[in-house]
Chains A and B, each alone.
Chain A
Amino acid sequence: MDDWKPSSLIKPFGARKKRSWYLTWKYKLTNQRALRRLCQTGAVLFLLVTVIVNIKLILDTRRAISEANGDPEPEQDYDEALGRLEPSRRRGSGPRRVLDVEVYSSRSKVYVAVDGTTVLEDEAREQGRGIHVIVLNQATGHVMAKRVFDTYSPHEDEAMVLFLNMVAPGRVLICTVKDEGSFHLKDTAKALLRSLGSQAGPALGWRDTWAFVGRKGGPVLGEKHSKSPALSSWGDPVLLKTDVPLSSAEEAECHWADTELNRRRRRFCSKVEGYGSVCSCKDPTPIEFSPDPLPDNNVLNVPVAVIAGNRPNYLYRMLRSLLSAQGVSPQMITVFIDGYYEEPMDVVALFGLRGIQHTPISIKNARVSQHYKASLTATFNLFPEARFAVVLEEDLDIAVDFFSFLSQSIHLLEEDDSLYCISAWNDQGYEHTAEDPALLYRVETMPGLGWVLRKSLYKEELEPKWPTPEKLWDWDMWMRMPEQRRGRECIIPDVSRSYHFGIVGLNMNGYFHEAYFKKHKFNTVPGVQLRNVDSLKKEAYEVEIHRLLSEAEVLDHSRNPCEDSFLPDTEGHTYVAFIRMEKDDDFTTWTQLAKCLHIWDLDVRGNHRGLWRLFRKKNHFLVVGVPASPYSVKKPPSITPIFLEPPPKEEGVPGAAEQT
């Protein structure tokens, strides 16, 4: 303000005495150009100052307003931390309205480049056969999903249909074929491709190459196709170059109510695809479940460690079922992701849970094993007060009464030193061999697949001698070894409280899953009251077994135990059969019996001192190994134990397959 020159010139004017002097002076100067000029420049300068101050004020006020309206910075931080800079923004040249997309399809190589960035490149041999599908966000050009469907093999086209149907309308779809993609591409899939507007897709033939870019719900943005000239040769490589116009962000997003939950949902849905109705604009599936609380919940403060790899769709399904289970406390859940994968982290964030990433150490089974160790150690570090931890895997469904089951049984782990774990999984609990959700067993094997670990066991015994990375051991096999288990047993339910749905895993494939896991029984009844939990303690359990054996009816041992008629058509009876078992580790007959009963036969599971308990035709069915089992004394002298010959050496027996 003090810089205002004219004002200082005028100042003396206010004093009356000096007025005449001033006027004369003024008069002298009036006709002088220079003065006018000076006045004018002064005024202009003054105007300029005003304008500058004005602008500064406006800027400051705006900043103040934006600060007052919620601090946007944490969110930006979060975005940056997860590397969510959108490509169009990153270039800093304002939003780009067009993406150039290149799609290449050939026998041995496929690639997709968006705006010069390669988002898919696969030239590995013997790998990646079939139709590669990429979904881009129509507003940002982000890759939201990347899948490959080996439509040369059966059923893969069904998975593709399922996936494409889940993709939200408006998204940019990119398809390209590597090697062969038509052999098992059935009509439904072809019809779907037609509905996307593809010309060549529905007519895709043996060893054709094909590249396609389109918007879901139309229009097609580019397509190239090359027919294979002969059965033994491939179509020519095709390179499709096309421009994809971007739409505005508002069009790409749904208008959900502005709540904390929907903010999570929006973040998730603008980033990934293939999760179906969770991103539906009209009626999205809830992502918060608030199941009924459990009265007298003894496991409310038990941390839950979810061990995950890079199977985000599995993790999504798993977490849904976990968060729907009665008595769950979400803040106790930690998801441990083996590797720096983004999508599983997105799934974890969608549900508002804690996720921890783990730099992979070692390879194959040892990698899983190191991941387990780090996850368990971290769990007990994060929850130093916890005496137990629940360990889950990403490919499990969790029963609605999972926590209720644990709440009723967890005190056993505290009171009975002869226990190794409580597991939600019964290895022998198939649809046809499990019946009673209120019944618990003691078994010498450790089933895993949803189990409770005692902190003292981990900290004092397991952690210090956990297999080192170079050992390439399976953590669960290692835990089952006598050096670790030391004769202790696990508590399991007759009807499993977890369900293993994963068919893609380290030791898993479709065939294996169908044979050993698909028909597993899974409890769906809420609030089951477990029966006689204290009878599971060491001594009490022996009393219980003796009582059971005493009242059990001895089956007709002359019949073939593999046949259905071995057990009478009754309900609710208890039957016992005696099989030959020379020593503690002689499982010849048991393995054959397990095989013909279509239960787990790859190694011995579910035994307790030479005794197996299961259900057949709604009757409790006990099998005792004679003479190794101490319960052999219950065998009537007249009965000869059943002996089943192992089949002569066969080739195609599945190798040492284990659960992941």
Chain B
Amino acid sequence: MKGDETNIIFLSKKDEINWVTLKRQPSEHRRLMSRINKNVILALLTLTSSAFLLFQLYYYKHYLSAKNGTGLSKSKGSRIGFDSTQWRAVKKFIVLTSSQNVPVFLIDPLILELINKDFEQVKNTSHGSTSECKFFCVPRDFTTFALRYHLWKNEEGWFRIAENMGFQCLKIESKDPRLDGIDSLSGTEIPLHYICRLANHAIHLVVFHERSGNYLWHGHLRLKGHMDRKFVPFRKLQFGRYPGAFDRPELQQITIDGLEILIPKDPVHFLEEIPRSRFIECRYKEARAFFQQYLDDNTVEAMAFRKNAKELLQLAAKTLKKLGVQFWLSSGTCLGWYRQCNIITYSKDVDLGIFIQDYKSDIISAFQDVGLPLKHKFGKVEDSLELSFQGKDDIKLDIFFFYEETDHMWNGGTQAKTGKKFKYLFPKFTLCWTEFVDMKVHVPCETTEYIEANYGKTWKIPVKTWDWKRSPPNVQPNGIWPISEWDEVIQLY
């Protein structure tokens, strides 16, 4: 502004000087006069416009900072109390969901952890007696809730009401994976995520869908082309990086920070599930292509085998779950899932993998109790353990125990007649959830590598004769059991 004042002075000085010259030359007088006028007008214009510009720039800056407000949230959240933006956003969201009957529950890992720390106290706190805002007032960018989609009745009006309340909402939709397994169906898209922003705090609403196999599924948060990539710092979201699968949690109501919310009844279990929730879908399209090339076996025997194998797998899964032992689909069963999303009818057994550190001595008795007697036991816990149980109708349940080395995993094999040992090598892998024959089960996330190690690059071509000692490309001879140990490491029943 100072510059402008001086500008006026500067121009007026100039005028004085001009004035002297004017007296001498009247004809020039008018010319100069008009020039002076021009200059004055120009100066005035410059002055006003610069004032205007300054005002605008100031306003623009203000507007920009409001727009990118989430980025600045940390500095603003210093005042921790019930008037924090977090708390207000959550409160507004709770008001909205309860008035619109949106069935939500809290799944925010950070807040669940805080709640879990003094769970007893939280449970005993009655309405409104909290004096201090402890949970929702920690400065953060997000609070995460889950939506139980199948209980949701009035999907339509919700969005608009949220926006009328001041939320800015983003909805991420996708096609329904539950229809993927069925030939040629295309439905209305289902919502996967809602992100609703109020001032500089956002509510991330993860939509949980019911899936066959008694579990809840949420989708991958994938931004479509036209979406605003800076709507919220998406990278900081705790859910949505991958699709996820969760056991259907029982819920309970609690009051924290004066807000009534639902949380999982067993927050510890839920918190444990989060890092291990990654879900991969079966490759239905490829499976369909497979069946177009190699027709499906629909004979009565094949059907009966599938049914029995499915029942055996369900029984095994139930038993192992009760023991708390984590397992995954291995060998032929895994190949069946990956290649054709179904049980391979000529495989004649069900194969599972278990990490040796998860081994429990009561596995054998637990299987025996549910009517699956031990058929053979090869190896020992320290080396090449393998269990085999007899299911009904001659179907075998093979459990291979996996040993971890620094750069690979392996499981062992034993030839009963000769006592020869074999070793099957796999690249390191982690476990993911998937859905297989109406069940939520684990498979190696790095499935292609796992299958290729076991079956080679040609795994897509069905092979009916398979020699477990010679056919797998990852088999290695591993010496021979000393005769003295045979009684222990080769047990046939």
Which B residue sits closest to A13, measured CB to CB?
Answer: B6
Alpha-carbon separation in the docked complex, A382 to B209 (Å): 9
For A4, the chain B residues whose CB sits under 8 A away are 50
Q: Are B187 and A374 touching (Cβ within 8 A)?
A: no
Query: Quick one: given A57-B59, A374-B184, are A465 and B298 in contact (CB under 8 Å)?
Result: yes
Separation in Å of the B344 CB from the closest CB of chain A? 15
**B253 beta carbon closer than 8 Å to chain A:** no
B3 touches A11 (CB 8 A): yes
Whether A655 is near chain B, meaning CB under 8 Å from some CB there, is no
Confirm or deny: A64 has a beta carbon within 8 angstroms of a beta carbon on chain B.
Answer: yes
Contact pattern, B 166-202, Cβ under 8 Å of A = 1, otherwise 0 = 0011110000101101111111110000000000000
Give chain A interface residues in 351-405, CB to chain B under 8 Å.
352, 354-359, 361, 374, 377-378, 380-385
Q: Does B464 contact A (CB under 8 A)?
A: no
Is A381 in contact with B53, judged by CB distance below 8 angstroms?
Answer: no
**Is the Cβ of B63 less than 8 Å from the Cβ of A47?**
no
Are B171 and A74 in contact, CB atoms less than 8 angstroms apart?
A: yes
Task: Given A43-B46, A383-B210, verify A357-B169 contact (CB < 8 Å).
Answer: no
Q: Which residue of A lies closest to B21 (CB)?
A: A31
Distance to closest chain B CB from A362 (angstroms): 11
Interface membership of chain A positions 438-478, coded 1 if the CB is closer than 8 angstroms to chain B and 0 otherwise: 00000000000000000000011000110010000000000
Q: Is the interface of A mostly helix, strand, loop or mixed?
A: helix
Complex formed: what's the CA distance from A30 to B179 in Å? 83
* A352 x B49 contact (CB < 8 A): no
B14 at the interface (CB under 8 A from A): yes
Chain B residues in the interface with A (C-beta under 8 A): 2-3, 6-7, 9-10, 13-14, 17-18, 35, 39, 42-43, 45-46, 49-50, 52-54, 56-57, 59-60, 63, 67, 150, 152-153, 156-157, 159-160, 163, 168-171, 176, 178-179, 181-189, 210-214, 226, 298, 303, 306-307, 438
Is the pair B150, A57 in contact by a Cβ cutoff of 8 Å? no
For A381, list chain B residues within 8 Å (CB): 178-179, 181-182, 212
- A81 to B189 alpha-carbon distance, docked (Å): 10
Q: A60–B63 contact, CB under 8 A? A: yes
Q: A1 contacts which chain B residues (CB < 8 A)? A: 53-54, 57
Q: Contact: B45 with A47, CB < 8 Å?
A: yes
Q: How close is A27's CB to chain B, nearest CB, in angstroms? A: 7
Please give, as numbers and ranges, the residues of chain A lying within 8 Å of B170 by CB-CB distance: 71
B53 near A49 with CB under 8 A, answer: yes
Q: A640 an interface residue at 8 Å Cβ cutoff?
A: no
Asked if B185 and A378 make an inter-chain contact with CB atoms under 8 angstroms apart, the answer reads yes
CB distance from A512 to the nearest CB of B (A): 31
Within 8 A of B (CB), among A34-52: 36, 39-40, 43, 46-47, 49-50
Q: Which A residues have a C-beta under 8 Å from some C-beta of B?
A: 1, 4, 6-7, 10-11, 13-14, 23, 26-27, 30, 36, 39-40, 43, 46-47, 49-50, 53-54, 57, 60-61, 64, 67-68, 70-71, 73-74, 81, 260, 331, 336, 352, 354-359, 361, 374, 377-378, 380-385, 459-460, 464-465, 468
Pair count A-B, CB < 8 A = 140
Could you say which residues of chain B place their CB within 8 Å of the CB of A383? 150, 210
The 10 lowest CB-CB distance pairs between A and B, nearest first, are A359-B184, A356-B187, A384-B212, A381-B178, A7-B3, A50-B49, A50-B53, A260-B157, A43-B46, A13-B6
Q: Are A356 and B186 in contact (CB under 8 A)?
A: yes
**B60 and A57 contacting across the interface, CB-CB below 8 Å:** yes
Please measure, in the bound complex, the distance between the C-alpha atom of A355 and the C-alpha atom of B188, giving whole angstroms.
6
Select from chain B the residue with minimum beta-carbon distance to A259. Answer: B157
In the bound complex, what is the Cα–Cα distance between A267 and B3 (angstroms)?
A: 59
Chain A residues within an 8 Å CB radius of B212 = 380-381, 384
User: In the complex, A30 Cα to B10 Cα: how many Å?
Assistant: 11
A546 CB to nearest B CB, Å: 39
**Chain A residues with CB under 8 A of B42:** 39-40, 43
CB–CB B211/A384 < 8 A = yes
Distance between Cα atoms of A359 and B184 in the complex (Å): 5
Partner of A378, one of B7, B179, B298: B179
Contact A464 to B56, CB < 8 A, known contacts A13-B6, A354-B188, A377-B182:
no
A46-B49, A384-B210, A460-B307 in contact; A357/B6 too (CB < 8 A)? no
Q: Which of A358, A384, A465 contacts B213 (CB 8 A)?
A: A384
Contacts of A460 in B (CB 8 A): 307
Q: In the complex, which residues of chain B have a beta carbon less than 8 angstroms from the beta carbon of A54?
A: 52, 56
Given A43-B45, A357-B185, A381-B178, A70 contacting B160 (CB threshold 8 A): yes
Within 8 Å CB of B9, what residues of A?
Answer: 13
Q: Is the CB of B2 within 8 A of A14?
A: yes
Please report the C-alpha to C-alpha distance between residue A68 and residue B188 in the assembled complex, in whole angstroms.
Answer: 27
Which chain A residues border B184 with CB–CB below 8 Å? 358-359, 361, 374
Q: When A11-B3, A381-B178, A384-B214 are in contact, do A53 and B187 touch as well, CB less than 8 Å?
A: no
Complex CA gap A61/B63 in Å reads 9
State in angstroms the CA–CA spacing of A521 and B233 once bound together: 63
For B187, give its contact among A7, A26, A357, A384 (CB under 8 Å).
A357
| Cα–Cα, bound, A271→B53 (Å) | 49
**Can you sample 22 A-B contacts with CB below 8 Å?**
A13-B6, A14-B2, A26-B14, A30-B18, A43-B43, A46-B50, A57-B56, A61-B63, A67-B168, A71-B168, A71-B169, A356-B187, A356-B188, A358-B185, A359-B183, A374-B182, A374-B184, A374-B185, A377-B182, A381-B212, A383-B210, A468-B298
Option from B7, B160, B179, B303 in Cβ contact (under 8 Å) with A10: B7
Query: Is the Cβ of A378 less than 8 Å from the Cβ of B178?
Result: yes
Residue from the list A30, A64, A336 in contact with B17, Cβ < 8 A:
A30
- Find A331's partner among B2, B7, B152, B438 (CB 8 Å cutoff): B152
CB distance from A338 to the nearest CB of B (A): 10
Q: Across the interface, which residues of B come within 8 angstroms of A13, CB to CB? A: 6, 9-10
Complex: A474 Cα to B67 Cα, angstroms: 61
A327 to B: closest C-beta gap in Å: 15
With a cutoff of 8 Å between Cβ atoms, the chain A residues found around residue B63 in the complex are: 60-61, 64
Assess the B3–A27 pair: CB atoms within 8 A. Answer: no
CB distance from B191 to the nearest CB of A (A): 10
Residues of B within 8 A of A465 (CB): 298, 303
